[in-house]
Amino acid sequence: PLFHPAMKNVAPIRRELSVKTFFNMLGPMVNPAFPKHQLVGVFNLELARMYGYLYQKTDTNYSILHALDGYDEIALTGPVKIISREQESILQPSDFGTKTIQAEDIHGGASVADAAAIFLDVLNNKASDPRKDVVCANAGMAIATVRGLSPEEGFHAAKESLESGRALEVFNALKSRSGKAA
């Protein structure tokens, strides 16, 4: 409902169903901001291919990703399929300049409050290395998509932003502009 006005009537039904619906697939395709660059994580390979086909027909510079162990993001727990306008590839954690991690090292907690605390720990550069690396891999892939960098170059740009405190500064500026507390 905060993303697209048409979704406000659908959100309660989606929550009640607790399963992936057509609206999970539709969301990124109906972004009212019409971004020039987009990084989209998807929950299965078939959807990644479908998005790739649809995005080819737009002017959007895109990267679509699906972790082959099931995540809809770069988890660094194994290989990830990336589909962009230029190519399809399978990346390993080493392509980001990091190592494979264990799923239990990046568990997001049992509640929204747990996830928020982990998020703030990452931004304050106090989280575990695996958690910071996963955030940097995903942010880095977005940076790589926009700037035309390699995944490793994007990862290092994200890591520099995190370690220098710039990522936290941007988050705090965004938070103050929105008038909402984290």
Q: Are residues 157 and 121 in the same domain?
A: yes
Q: Average pLDDT in the 90-112 region?
A: 95
Provide the domain count of the chain: 2
pLDDT at 1: 41
3, pLDDT greater than 80: no
Q: Are residues 27 and 88 in the same domain?
A: no
Q: Are residues 3 and 59 in the same domain?
A: no
The residue segments making up the domain with residue 27 are: 1-33
Burial 50-68, CB ≥16 within 10 A → b, else e: ebbeebeeeebbbbbbbbe
| Residue 62's CATH number | 3.40.1030.10
Residue 81's nearest CA partner among 92, 99, 65, 101 is 65
154, pLDDT greater than 70: yes
Q: Are residues 15 and 93 in the same domain?
A: no
pLDDT at 11: 58
Greater confidence (27 vs 164) lies with 164
Q: Are residues 84 and 165 in the same domain?
A: yes
Q: Are residues 23 and 104 in the same domain?
A: no
The Cβ of residue 23 has, within 10 Å, a number of other Cβ atoms equal to 16
Q: Are residues 8 and 29 in the same domain?
A: yes
pLDDT at 30: 76
What does the block give as tokens for 35? 């971004």
179, pLDDT greater than 90: no
Q: Are residues 145 and 93 in the same domain?
A: yes
